[in-house]
Amino acid sequence: MSLELDVRCAGQHGFYLDVACRIPGQGVTALYGASGSGKSTLLDCIAGLREPDQNSRIHFRGEDWFSGGKGLPAWQRRIGYVFQDARLFSHLTVAGNLDFARRRAKGSQPLGQSRLVEILGLGDLLQQKPETLSAGQKQRVAIGRALCSGPQLLLLDEPLANLDHRASAECLSLLQELAQQLDLPMLYVSHDIEEVSQLADHLLLLENGKLQNQGSLLALSSRLDTNLAHEEQAAAILLGTISAQDDAFALTEVSVEGQTLQVNRLPLVIGAKRRLRIPARDVSICLEQPRQTSILNILPVTIVEIEACHGARLLLRLALGEQFLLARITRKSAERLSLAVGDNVFAQIKSVALLSEAGDTQ
Amino acid sequence: MDVIGLTAALAGTTTFILLLVGTPLAWWLATRNSNASALVESLVALPLVLPPTVLGFYLLLALAPDSPLGQLWQQLTGTRLAFSFSALVIGSVVYSLPFVVQPLQSAFQNLPAGMLQAAATLGANPLDQFRNVVFPMTRRSFVTAASLGFAHTVGEFGVVLMIGGNIPGETQVLSIALFDKVETLQFDEAHRLAIGLVAFSLALLFLIYRKNGPAAWRVRT
């Protein structure tokens, strides 16, 4: 049960979208790419807000949404759409906006109305008009409104792009909570890899209207042959388990593949699973285990791949048990240490971000 | 029917028909941008710039008993179209068309982008989108359009004179009656009608302006 796409669509200035893929019927799938890569165009074709070329095909859970040159109108597709600019109805109150969606619901609402209002923190806003709300509040109402229409697929087009840092973090953790609580596939368009790392399970990498790569976030984030690895922000995502709390030093220990990483203390229960994000630029390599260093997190790893980056840099892919780290070092250091694939080395990690909750640590 | 009642009936009927015809026309003009729509837009605006007598002259020819429209009317209703109340309604609809279409078109064009897309993704079909999103958001412009259409029909003279004549109880509306009184030197009567028209028009315009602010007067020529 999934979304099958074979979409071609011409855009402006010779842009041409041509994507064929299958999107999992559960979890959060991020459409990631630079602006102009065609993510929003693809999303609008899926929603029925834009007509793709005649020979395109869009199929969702046994329904043809576009086939044989004909499309089901947007209002008959069982979708919810959260726009970048909220698009609340200004003549209705917050409650009126939610009711508008509920009266036209395409299916049962995944959460009860009161539970939804509670999670999104809309209780005090219900009688207000949209113009009195902050950008973050508007976006929360827009998310609530989309869910009230009982969608079977939630589409989100850069919903955090217009929000300030705080509102954006707040909205992101709400989306995480909803993604965990709801059995609702989401397609999330973004050009912000940090948002994507927090939220997505699957990743579609788009470039110039073409699908560059597709796969799980954890797998794709540690490969060297994607655009992701070559971005300034490149980072590996690992899965860890909270193993201990060190009250004396206010640190939390996270176990990854039998090794322990220490991060600033977070109020998490032992045994909780968390994603860790380790930026490639914050990982350096030592041939021997350094003893006198301020860096806490040093892991034994094996070099499995080396790839030239632009300019003076190299990208290394490091195996840590079944998972992988990325390191970005200079070519000069690599030569000085004569690094080669298969070497067992130590990775010094300067920063680890524990995802799914706000909190970075050195 | 007295002069005021007849004038009100004419303006009311005309405004009703104009809202029915003008709304889809304004929507079409607001959402299209082609040579065809530019031509239609120009035709709609013509009554703003042409002398009413030009319009009246062609309407007179079109509604005459020996014209195709006149003959069809005769066959359907058994009555003559020229110099009838119905002819006045037809003439007024054409003459007041821009006063209804233009405020609506401008309101539709100024709808915040993407509202209809948002409504569609929430499951609203096109008619539903119009009734429950477009109409409530442009309600004031409907009031403006109806008021302007009504007031302008009450105030027309040239077209009515050309196609309606001056038949009391059938086609003698306020402006014509006023002309008639002046012609026959009944200045007291003329004063009463004139001051009444001024007061009525002023009151109506005041209501429109007070509710909407000056921006409501968006008639473009």
pLDDT score recorded for residue A356: 62
Place of tokens 């997505």: A200
Residues 20-39 of A with CB under 8 A from B: none
Residue A254 host element (H or E): strand A251-256
Residues A194, A281: one domain? Answer: no
> In whole angstroms, what is the distance from residue A24 CA to residue A195 CA?
19
> Does residue A280 form part of some domain?
yes
CATH number, position A321: 2.40.50.100
Whether residues B132 and A48 touch (CB distance < 8 A) is answered with no
The answer to whether B78 contacts chain A (CB < 8 Å) is no
> In whole angstroms, what is the distance from residue A345 CA to residue A334 CA?
12
Whether residues A74 and B133 touch (CB distance < 8 A) is answered with no
> Does residue A227 form part of some domain?
no
> Does residue A129 form part of some domain?
yes
pLDDT score recorded for residue B211: 64
pLDDT in tens, A288-346: 988 888 999 999 999 999 998 878 899 999 999 999 999 999 999 999 999 999 999 99
Residues A291, A146: one domain? Answer: no
Chain B residue with the nearest C-alpha to that of A82:
B118
> In whole angstroms, what is the distance from residue A138 CA to residue A130 CA?
7
B188 CB-side CA count, 13 A: 0
Residues of chain B with pLDDT > 70, as a percent, come to 95
Using the predicted structure, report yes or no on whether residue B219 has a pLDDT greater than 60: no
ipTM value of the model?
Answer: 0.84
Residues A208, A294: one domain? Answer: no
Give B85→chain A minimum CA distance, Å.
40
Phi-psi region at A240: left, alpha or beta (left = phi > 0; alpha = psi -120 to 50): beta
pLDDT score recorded for residue A229: 84
> In whole angstroms, what is the distance from residue A110 CA to residue A186 CA?
13
**Of A172, A192, A222, at which residue does a domain stop?**
A222
Tokens of residue B86, six digits: 């119905």
Q: Do B40 and B29 contact (CB within 8 A), yes or no?
A: yes
> In whole angstroms, what is the distance from residue A262 CA to residue A140 CA?
34
Judging contacts by C-beta atoms under 8 Å, the chain B residues touching residue A77 are 121
Low-confidence spans in chain A with pLDDT less than 50: 357-362
pTM (2 d.p.): 0.83
> In whole angstroms, what is the distance from residue A101 CA to residue A95 CA?
10
Residues A192, A285: one domain? Answer: no
Using the predicted structure, report yes or no on whether residue B221 has a pLDDT greater than 60: no
> Does residue A124 form part of some domain?
yes
Within 10 angstroms of residue B136's Cβ, the number of other Cβ atoms is 12
Residues A169, A76: one domain? Answer: yes
Residues A190, A317: one domain? Answer: no
Q: Do A120 and A197 contact (CB within 8 A), yes or no?
A: no
User: CA gyration radius for chain A?
Assistant: 22
Residues of chain B with pLDDT > 90, as a percent, come to 47
pLDDT score recorded for residue B215: 47
**Of A167, A189, A222, at which residue does a domain stop?**
A222
Q: How many domains does chain A have?
A: 2
Instruction: Categorize the per-residue pLDDT at B212 as very low, low, confident or very high, splitting at 50, 70 and 90.
Output: low
The answer to whether A131 contacts chain B (CB < 8 Å) is no
Place of tokens 């794709």: A220
Residues A211, A342: one domain? Answer: no
pLDDT score recorded for residue B81: 84
DSSP B8-49: HHHHHHHHHHHHHHHHHHHHHHHH--SHHHHHHHHHHHHHHH
CATH number, position A130: 3.40.50.300
**Of A222, A254, A284, at which residue does a domain stop?**
A222
Residues A79, A197: one domain? Answer: yes
Residues A201, A333: one domain? Answer: no
Name A303's bridge partners: A318
Q: Which of B110, B122, B133, B141 to mutate to test the interface with A (most CBs of A within 10 A)?
A: B122
Residue type at A152 in one-letter notation = Q
Residues A203, A260: one domain? Answer: no
> Does residue A361 form part of some domain?
no
Residues A191, A264: one domain? Answer: no
Chain B residue with the nearest C-alpha to that of A46:
B121
pLDDT in tens, B55-87: 889 988 988 888 888 888 888 888 888 888 889
pLDDT score recorded for residue A312: 86
Question: Average pLDDT for residues B108-136, to the nearest whole number?
Answer: 93
> Does residue A228 form part of some domain?
no
List the end-to-end C-alpha distance of chain A, in Å, as a whole number.
42
CB nearest to B122's CB, from A48, A73, A100? A100
> In whole angstroms, what is the distance from residue B33 CA to residue B28 CA?
9
> In whole angstroms, what is the distance from residue A146 CA to residue B189 CA?
64
Domain span at residue A239 reads 235-354
* Long-range CB contacts for residues B194-203, cutoff 8 Å, separation at least 24: B196/B4, B197/B154, B197/B155, B200/B151, B200/B154, B201/B151, B201/B154, B201/B155
Strand positions, DSSP E, B123-202: none
> Does residue A230 form part of some domain?
no
Q: What sign for the dihedral angle of Cα B206, B208, B213, B217?
A: negative
Strands A235-246 and A186-190: unpaired
Phi, psi angle pair for A318, to nearest 5°: -115, 130
Residues A273, A124: one domain? Answer: no
Tokens of residue B82, six digits: 């020229």
Q: Do A81 and B116 contact (CB within 8 A), yes or no?
A: no
